[in-house]
Each structure stands twice: as structure tokens, then as C-alpha cells.
Amino acid sequence: MRRNNKSICFIGNCSSKLPENEIKLQELKLRMYKEINNAIENNVDTFYFGALYGFELMCANLVLLRKKVINMQNPKRVKLIAIVPYEEQARNWKEEDREMYYSTLSQCDSVILIDKQYKEDCLVERNKYMVDHSSRIICYYNSCRGDKAYLLDYAKRKKFKITNLD
């Protein structure tokens, strides 16, 4: 385990649990961008995401957007790392989610594959990897069960700062 005090991981709901109202969705994206920008200004240099459609891919794409914005007086190098639980994860997703997924992965600084094929605990292992390599979580949850509940409990036991944008 290499806990990095300059790293943040994203965890959140899939697309169907994000705000349906376009104004509320844009407000969420603005809050996400402000959190990312603030983190970068406070010397965070690495962002991990679990390569899941919805909140996590939105955050990843905002990090990619922010990487293109360079403050000439104080330039900062930022890395985006995808933690993919298993190779075929996007196989059954909607086409637009798959397209965003593959486009985002192609722009990441690194893609780490937890397992070649789906295994019962690969999602939990992905989440633990992100927490073990980060010092803070930015999340979006309006209900928390299963592997996400485990992740947040795991992070709380490790005394993480958790920012829920819901």
C-alpha cells in the first residue's frame, strides 16, 4: 500500500442516479469542477477513478479538461489514473456510456486492471486500491449499499476526508 497525500479518488452513482434535471446536473458538474480545481491548487497531483459510468466518468472528464488549463505563473502536472475492476466491464453498457468510457481511458495517464475476468471481489479490490493510494474521496451518493458502502466505511476507518457532493 502506497498511500499518497497528494491523491484523491472519485466514487459515485451511475448515470441513472444522477440529477435528471439539466440545471441540477450542470450545478453538480460546476461543484465537481470547483472541488477538482481547489484540490489541484492545494497540491493534489493524482486523481483515481473506478472507471464506472456516471459520476466517476464525469469527474474523470473534468480532470482531463482541467489538465488543459495551465496557470502560467504556477503550472502543475496532474495525472488521471483509471482503476478498472475487470477487462470486459463495459461490455453490456449503453453505447454512449461505452464510448465515453473508452475515450476517457485512452486519455488517462495510466490504466490499472485489477482482474482479467470478472471475479466476485474485483469491485471491492478496485475500491480498496483507490483508497489505499489516496488520502481523500470526492463522492456523490444519495444511497449507499454494497461495494460502495464498504468503500466509504473502509475510508472512514482510515480517517479519510470524504466530500459528498449530493
- CATH number where 63 lies: 3.40.50.450
CA 161 to chain centre: 15
- Examine residue 1 and state whether it is found in any structural domain, yes or no: no
- Examine residue 137 and state whether it is found in any structural domain, yes or no: yes
**Amino acid of residue 127:** N
Are 84 and 113 in contact by the 8 Å Cβ rule? The answer is yes
Give the angle subtended at the CA of 87 by the CAs of 81 and 92, to the nearest 5°.
Answer: 110
Which of 7, 14, 32 lies closest to 136 in space, CA to CA? Answer: 7
- Examine residue 53 and state whether it is found in any structural domain, yes or no: yes
Q: Is 37 exposed, middle or buried (0-12, 13-18, 19+ CB in 10 A)?
A: middle
Indicate whether this model's pTM tops 0.75.
Answer: yes
Residue bearing the bigger pLDDT, 91 or 166: 91
- Res 61: pLDDT: 93
- Examine residue 54 and state whether it is found in any structural domain, yes or no: yes
Please say if the pLDDT value at position 3 is more than 70: no
Per-chain mean pLDDT for the chain = 85
Domain that holds residue 108: 7-164
Please say if the pLDDT value at position 5 is more than 60: yes
Are 133 and 109 in contact by the 8 Å Cβ rule? The answer is no
Split into its structural domains, the chain has a count of: 1
- Confidence band (pLDDT; 50, 70, 90) for 25? confident
d(CA 49, CA 30): 18
